[in-house]
Amino acid sequence: MIALLTGLLSTAVLAGSVLALAAQGEVMAERTGVTSLGTEGIMSIGAVVAVLTVMEYPDPWLGFVAAMIAGGLAGAIFAFAVVILRANQVLCGLATTFLGIGLSAAMGHSVAGLPVPVTFTPVHIPLLSAIPLIGPAFFSQNILVCLICFVLPAGLHHLLFRTRHGLNLRAVGENPAAADAAGISVAGFRFWYTVLGTSLAGGAGACLSLAVIPGWTEGMVSGRGWIAVALVIFAGFRPVNAVLAGLVFGLISALGFLGQAESWPVAAPVLNMFPYLGTLGFIILPVVLWPGIRRIFAAPAALGEPYYREVR
């Protein structure tokens, strides 16, 4: 029983860390007021770039960094369109998703279905990995899981809520006109944090193709990007909650894997619906059951709205 639970938790953390990383990137972009709906496409690009890189230079970290750079570059195009030109964010996000999925399939044509030479290998952290249940799940995975689940959220939380820079960042998302009047560069914050968000999404793609499902296959991201976008709402736009939400959904998909492995009397496609239905439930139910949550976990007031200095 313990072995089963440990296995389940390990799978959950591994699958959840991908969502957690992408969701944290999305939190940063949305905190500045940019809805970055291209996550799905950017994760695809990250996944394929990581695989292509390790095929050439077999080092997973190099693949991860290349995926982050590719995600950042794709995000820079998106950010230029929505922040500098101020085009519609929903449309440009969808366009980025189409572009990302289409381009990644074209780029990955030659490596589709091939095994990757290297993946992120598990590292046992002394002492911590000896903790029952949690130890194997968090501290006997690849080191990236530790970074995504503990180091990055702590850093982002500190940045957002404990520094002046973070206060400025949130001001840009809540009231860009006031931030602008205070001498904060609205376009600068929005552009660079959107790029940061998409480069984390690119990294999440690398995580997926180098650790969770090694190798590239067309459509392997299969909605994880969209789930990450949805988790941000559920997480109330907070990095630490985004990690928790990612892990919860890792657990839901791990239950699906477990069901297939243990041959539960439920068809595989039905098990695969769980993460999507779960996300749907987690977005709708809290608001229905406890309407006050909307005030506490409110979205940034200027989310999705382009800022024009000359328009009041």
Residues near other proteins (CB under 8 A) are: 37, 41, 77-78, 81, 85-88, 90-92, 94-103, 105-106, 109, 218, 222-223, 226-227, 229-230, 233, 267, 269-270, 272-273, 276-277, 279-280, 283-284, 287-288, 291, 294, 308, 310-311
Q: Which is nearer to other proteins, 150 or 276 (CB)?
A: 276
Q: Which is nearer to other proteins, 151 or 268 (CB)?
A: 268
Q: Which amino acid, one-letter code, is at 58?
A: P
Do 87 and 81 contact (CB within 8 A), yes or no? yes
Q: Can you spell out the DSSP letters for 273-304? A: HHHHHHHHHHHHHHHHH-TTHHHHTPPPTTTT
Dist. CA 217–CA 48, nearest whole Å: 9
Q: Which is nearer to other proteins, 53 or 279 (CB)?
A: 279
Q: How far is the CB of 237 from other proteins (least distance, A)?
A: 13
Q: How far is the CB of 291 from other proteins (least distance, A)?
A: 8
Tokens of 242: 């985004």
Dist. CA 147–CA 152, nearest whole Å: 6
Measured CA distances, 88 to 39, 64, 126, 253, 307 (Å): 16, 30, 50, 33, 12
Dist. CA 177–CA 312, nearest whole Å: 8
- Residue 129 makes CB contacts below 8 A (sequence gap 6+) with 135, 136, 139, 140
Q: Which is nearer to other proteins, 114 or 280 (CB)?
A: 280
Q: Which amino acid, one-letter code, is at 111?
A: V
Q: How far is the CB of 276 from other proteins (least distance, A)?
A: 5
Q: How far is the CB of 311 from other proteins (least distance, A)?
A: 7
Q: Which is nearer to other proteins, 41 or 136 (CB)?
A: 41
Q: DSSP secondary-structure letter at 59?
A: -
**Residues forming beta bridges with residue 216, ordered by sequence position:** 112
Q: How far is the CB of 104 from other proteins (least distance, A)?
A: 8
Tokens of 142: 């690849």
- Crossing angle of helices 224-234 and 2-31, in 10° steps, is 80
Tokens of 293: 């949550």
Q: Which is nearer to other proteins, 106 or 181 (CB)?
A: 106
Q: Which is nearer to other proteins, 91 or 154 (CB)?
A: 91
Q: How far is the CB of 262 from other proteins (least distance, A)?
A: 19
Q: How far is the CB of 271 from other proteins (least distance, A)?
A: 9
